[in-house]
Structure 1
Amino acid sequence: MSVQPKPSPRLLTDIVDILSQCVQYEASDVLLIPGEPPILRHDGALFKMPQVSPLSPEDCKRSIFSILDERQRAKFDATGDLDCSFAFKNTRFRANVYTQQFGVAAAFRVIAPGIPTPEQLGISPAVMKLADMSRGLVLVTGPTGSGKTTTLAALIEYINKRKKKHIITIEDPIEFVFQNRQSVIDQREVGQHTASFAQALKYTLRQNPDVILVGEMRDRETIDLAIRAAETGHLCLSTLHTLDAPSTIDRIISEFPLDQRQKLCNVLGNVLVGVVSQVLLPRRDGGRICAREVMFMNSAVSTLLRDDKVHQIRGAIESSGHEGMQTLDQALAFFVQQKVVSLEEALVWARSPQYLRSILETARAERAAQKR
């Protein structure tokens, strides 16, 4: 019996071919790194494109630069970093181009076609009520790649379909492209339409908005302006890279001098209406699922915040399930009980592994008692 020789690895340098492969494999991300073949991420795991040769630094740079316009190349040359987005064969991508030790590299993220519905994203009706607020600060938080932008897009589209509002988004870069429905939406991109989040937000307040989306609150000035927007009667939505509601509040407060802490606690008690913190976990049957902590500003949470007892807020969330609230650990425990995710995966993201185990043990004891 003759042995068939393995096919030789092919060199894949055309960005069109690379992104086509990404879409074909239903990958969420693709990495172009000098010295490696294109690397895909599927269901959270990385794998190298099979039978593809490593990219030389020159090929890698050429592939990446082929999608950039002159303005983007000039910005990258000046800073060594670039965020951008673009459309390719009916699929939108977000890209971050950067310089590393061997040359130019890039990370591409697939943006879901269209804007997913709350039902598709598993967003509860209680969370969607945040989009019905006329004023206040709504924060969607979580690690990179947890779907914060997608959740915000679903909230904005909910408003767009139901309310006659003027919505202004400030993004870096623009990912989901909205079509005006009941609302009128202006989308602005940092670096193209404005110099920074803070500058755009400062002038947005003069543009007669009802709803403002700030892609990310990266610094004290942006946080201060977002709070001011919420104080002056606007609904302001934004993101932070925090894992739960208490750490989100602490993150905001930590941006300001210590002598302003009590004042800020009082202000947040007035303007913060909700925090949704989310993580993506692998499902046992393949794919990924989003677990969300949900905090609304009720009287108990507001009192704790005004009294600077942020560390006790988790307890208030745990006991407010009847209002649609839940901690991240409670959300994780539910998925484990439903056999959607494994206990091992849930423990990776648990804020208190001990508390997560106690929820599961209590549930097991209750089921055992019912069988007697």
Structure 2
Amino acid sequence: MIKLKENPGLVAMNAPFIEPIEHGVSMGASDITLCADMPVIYRVEGQLLFGKRLPENHFNELHTFLEQTGARRHLKNHDSLSFDHDGSRFRLSYYSSEDGDTIELRLLPKAPRPLAELGVPAGFLKLLDAPRGIIIVTGTTGSGKTTTLGGAIDQINSTQSHKIITLEDPIEIRHENRKSIVKHRELGRHFQSFPEAIRAAMRQDPDIILLGELRDPETMSAALTAAETGHLVFATAHTKDAAGCVSRVLDALPGSDALASLAGSLVGVLAQQLIPGTDGKRVAAFELLINTQAVRNCIREKRIDHIRDEIGRNSTLGMVTMDYSLEQLVRTRRITKETALSFCMNQAELKRKLDQLPS
């Protein structure tokens, strides 16, 4: 049984993609790719695995189902839609290419994972007590940003009394009310743009606002305004490191006002990567930037390289460089030296340190 969130009254029994969906869930896949007359592709622990061929008539039946339910009409105006099947949740996107139409499915988490289980730096937990400002989790696509943010909201929900509004595309992790009240809102269903939704949220008495992504200058500006006006804002970005995230925001919002706004409202930036581990599973490596007075000065003067230096020299304050995180993963034999050097920021320096480790 498949229930589309965009039209919950419409339910399809035995839709042609139930079998690959259920197989993907059983494999622990994060993503499933469906193309007519092609093998189903599953992404498991970052690797692509090929399944059975999807007959063209089955793909056509799926296309017809999306048309009949109104899902195709929704996808013309939005990047994706979400649906439930047998206790699992998915995000669906649909696109055309030279090879024909393709359906991409992303398996969404059933429940948030505790931050302790994710291995985030201890300093990140302290940032969650901030009364206001903006906390950004950054990384490439598929690096686990949503999982980390879900864990952060779960931590706050379990320990603090706040009103939390999430603005997502689509809703990826559902939080039950505990000590806090969590209101989930989704693009296309509850609001039509992120800047509009942020401005509306500020009139809805939130303590915390969670954004899916800082995707454009208008969203960034609205997020900083919310942070400056007394709200704690969580957001994601797509950069490899923390300093690069600061640079991207400043490049998108030129001018001295943006420099002062980000310098004054930034709480911290957590950058993360998912890296192949020695056990065949992926392991997370993190970099944590905390906004100290020295960092604020660097932001105001747009000295990005100096921000990287500040992370490296302030481990006692809880900051962590990506290369230090990788070094610790090698020390505990969770990743190999070769893997660490493939994902590091300063290869020569990390190689020097790793060469000193016992074999």
**TM-score strictly above 0.5:** yes
Q: Which amino acid aligns with 2:59?
A: C
Superimposed CA distance per residue, residues 72-116 of structure 1 (whole angstroms, 9 cap, x where no aligned partner): 32122x35x631222222222222222222332122122233211
Once the two structures are TM-superposed, the CA of residue 67 in structure 1 deviates from its matched residue by 6.4
Once the two structures are TM-superposed, the CA of residue 213 in structure 1 deviates from its matched residue by 0.3
Distance in 1, matches of 2:67 and 2:330, equals: 44
1:22 counterpart residue number:
24
Q: Which stretches in structure 1 are left out of the alignment for 5+ residues?
A: 1-11
Check 1:155–1:103 CA distance in 2 against 1; reply closer, same or farther (3 A cut): same
Question: Given that residues 15 and 64 in structure 1 are in contact (C-alpha distance below 8 angstroms), is that contact kept between their aligned partners in structure 2?
Answer: no
Q: Which amino acid aligns with 2:351?
A: R
Q: Which stretches in structure 2 are left out of the alignment for 5+ residues?
A: 1-13
Once the two structures are TM-superposed, the CA of residue 61 in structure 1 deviates from its matched residue by 4.5
Structure 2 residue matching 1:263: 3-state secondary structure: helix
Match of 1:164 among 156, 161, 176: 161
Residues 1:53 and 2:53 are matched in the alignment = yes
Question: Given that residues 198 and 225 in structure 1 are in contact (C-alpha distance below 8 angstroms), is that contact kept between their aligned partners in structure 2?
Answer: yes
Distance in 1, matches of 2:61 and 2:231, equals: 45
1:322 counterpart residue number:
316
Distance in 2, matches of 1:69 and 1:225, equals: 37
Distance in 1, matches of 2:63 and 2:126, equals: 41
Q: Which amino acid aligns with 1:205?
A: M
TM-score normalised by length of structure 2: 0.90
TM-score normalised by length of structure 1: 0.87
Structure 1 residue matching 2:284: 3-state secondary structure: strand
2:135 counterpart residue number:
138
Check 1:169–1:68 CA distance in 2 against 1; reply closer, same or farther (3 A cut): farther
Distance in 2, matches of 1:61 and 1:138, equals: 44
Q: Which amino acid aligns with 1:330?
A: Y
Check 1:340–1:68 CA distance in 2 against 1; reply closer, same or farther (3 A cut): farther
Check 1:16–1:237 CA distance in 2 against 1; reply closer, same or farther (3 A cut): same
Match of 1:245 among 239, 242, 247: 242
Once the two structures are TM-superposed, the CA of residue 187 in structure 1 deviates from its matched residue by 0.7
Structure 2 residue matching 1:294: 3-state secondary structure: strand
Q: Superposition pairs for residues 154-233 of structure 1, below 5 Å?
A: 154-233=151-230
Distance in 2, matches of 1:204 and 1:121, equals: 29
Percent sequence identity over aligned pairs: 34
Provide the aligned length of Structure 1 versus Structure 2: 346
Structure 2 residue matching 1:41: 3-state secondary structure: strand
Check 1:33–1:183 CA distance in 2 against 1; reply closer, same or farther (3 A cut): same
Question: Given that residues 118 and 124 in structure 1 are in contact (C-alpha distance below 8 angstroms), is that contact kept between their aligned partners in structure 2?
Answer: no
Question: Given that residues 158 and 180 in structure 2 are in contact (C-alpha distance below 8 angstroms), is that contact kept between their aligned partners in structure 1?
Answer: yes
Distance in 2, matches of 1:332 and 1:234, equals: 33
Bigger drift between 245-254 and 66-75 goes to 66-75
Once the two structures are TM-superposed, the CA of residue 291 in structure 1 deviates from its matched residue by 0.5
